[in-house]
Amino acid sequence: MRFLLTDEQREFGRSLDALLTAADTPAVLRAWAAGDRGPGRALWGRLADAGVFALAVPEAYGGVGPLPVEAAVACVELGRHAVPGPVAETLAAGALLAGAGGPVAEEWLPGIASGAATVSLTLEGYGPYAPDADAADAVFTVTGDELRLAPDPGEPSASADPARRLFRPEPGGAPVAKGPAIRAAARSAGDTAAFATAALALGCGEELLRATVAYVKQRTQFGVPVGSFQAVKHRLADTLLGLEFARPLLYGAAVELASEVSRPGAGAGSAEGSSGAGAAVAAAKVAAGEAGYAAARTALQLHGAIGYTEELDLAWWLRRARPLRDVWGTPSACRARVLAG
């Protein structure tokens, strides 16, 4: 059995890295945080052209998915470059609406696949907040067996990441779908959101480690690079180990998700479709989230006072690591799910 990415999957990741490197994401992040969505939406359009958002949308609605392994490859790169916007939520909406089916799926899924529509959502069990709801074209909420389109994104709440604001959607809105399938679709969507967030956290941690290694090679103390100090080497090694141990859990969860999708009668939104992989997703989420946050703490300590400055591009990654750790499943909630599974 092969446990490595294929040449095509690796090339997909490299192509996204090249696209995002050329996009100058720190400038996009600053514009997004200031309320200028233009550069961010333009970047989303290029990512959609590369097929990123189609990975979560079934072929029947204009997508190519669901393809969890390719989605993991994509989200790691998006996390490495700190792409703004409701990435995990839009991918999760693909699973939610595919499971709901009917007119709401026909209306929104082709737009998600093409990049024309960004979506945020809230699900029972994951808290009342919808990330980047003000920048989304739609905010879906699930209560019981009812799927609703929120009438308004609501008021913003405090967020550690200025480029990822949290909103509590206004209650109400007419149901756009209802029935037992909605509960199953919501479970699948929750797993997809947690899985995508784990990949984003892993990518964020990788970039924090890369930037920190580069910095300690050039920063000197007592006439030598601080990276030559044994204590610094140990701290960086521990950070690398955390990220490398999280990586197989992420791709293991991707394989579990892919196997459940391909199982007869267990597609997206079915009663069985997200239960078996839930523990694998939770394990990946807690490992990647904790590793990414540990990378942020290492980066902040080894950069010293410069790590606190707004001018440092790395500050955007530093602020993102903890929210990614906690959204769509806190570490304690994920550990409890692993033990239960």
pLDDT of residue 173: 86
Average pLDDT over residues 115-133: 94
pLDDT of residue 270: 45
**DSSP letter string over 242-296?**
HHHHHHHHHHHHHHHHHHHHHSTT--TTSSSTTTTTHHHHHHHHHHHHHHHHHHH
Banded pLDDT at 171 (limits 50, 70, 90): confident
**DSSP letter string over 12-51?**
HHHHHHHHHHHTTHHHHHHHHHTT--HHHHHHHHHHHHTT
Using CA atoms, how far residue 247 sits from 239, 243, 289, in Å, is 13, 6, 11
pLDDT of residue 266: 52
pLDDT of residue 275: 56
pLDDT of residue 62: 95
pLDDT of residue 172: 83
Local structure of 341: helix, strand or coil: coil
pLDDT of residue 335: 96
Average pLDDT over residues 214-237: 95
Banded pLDDT at 52 (limits 50, 70, 90): very high
Distance CA 317, CA 301 (A): 14
Banded pLDDT at 311 (limits 50, 70, 90): confident
Region of 283 (left: φ > 0; alpha: ψ -120 to 50; beta: rest) is alpha
N-term to C-term CA, the chain: 25
pLDDT of residue 25: 94
* H or E segment to which residue 130 belongs: strand 130-131
pLDDT of residue 158: 84
Q: Angle at the Cα of 216 (from 214 to 220), degrees rounded to 5?
A: 130
Average pLDDT over residues 97-114: 96
Q: Is the confidence at residue 226, as pLDDT, over 70?
A: yes
3 exposure class (CB count in 10 Å sphere: 0-12, 13-18, 19+): exposed
For residues 62 and 113, the answer to whether their CB atoms sit within 8 Å is yes
DSSP 172: -
pLDDT of residue 273: 43
Average pLDDT over residues 184-207: 97
Average pLDDT over residues 198-217: 97
What is the pTM (predicted TM-score) of this model? 0.95
Q: Is the confidence at residue 269, as pLDDT, over 60?
A: no
Give residue-wise pLDDT tens across range 275-291: 568 999 999 999 999 99
User: What integer best gives the mean pLDDT of the chain?
Assistant: 92
For residues 199 and 71, the answer to whether their CB atoms sit within 8 Å is yes
Using CA atoms, how far residue 131 sits from 58, 141, 321, in Å, is 24, 12, 15
Banded pLDDT at 272 (limits 50, 70, 90): very low
Neighbour order of strands in the sheet with 119-122: 119-122, 138-143, 146-149, 175-178
Q: Is the confidence at residue 262, as pLDDT, over 70?
A: no
Distance CA 183, CA 317 (A): 34
Letter for the amino acid at 56? A
Average pLDDT over residues 77-95: 97
Banded pLDDT at 265 (limits 50, 70, 90): low
CB contact set of 163 (below 8 Å; sequence gap of 6+): 29, 30, 32, 33, 82, 84, 316, 319, 320
CB contact set of 77 (below 8 Å; sequence gap of 6+): 13, 16, 17, 20, 203
Q: How many CB atoms lie within 10 A of CB 337?
A: 18
pLDDT of residue 309: 84
- Range with lowest mean pLDDT among 33-42, 165-174, 207-216: 165-174
Average pLDDT over residues 141-162: 92
Cis peptide before 66 (omega within 30 of 0): yes
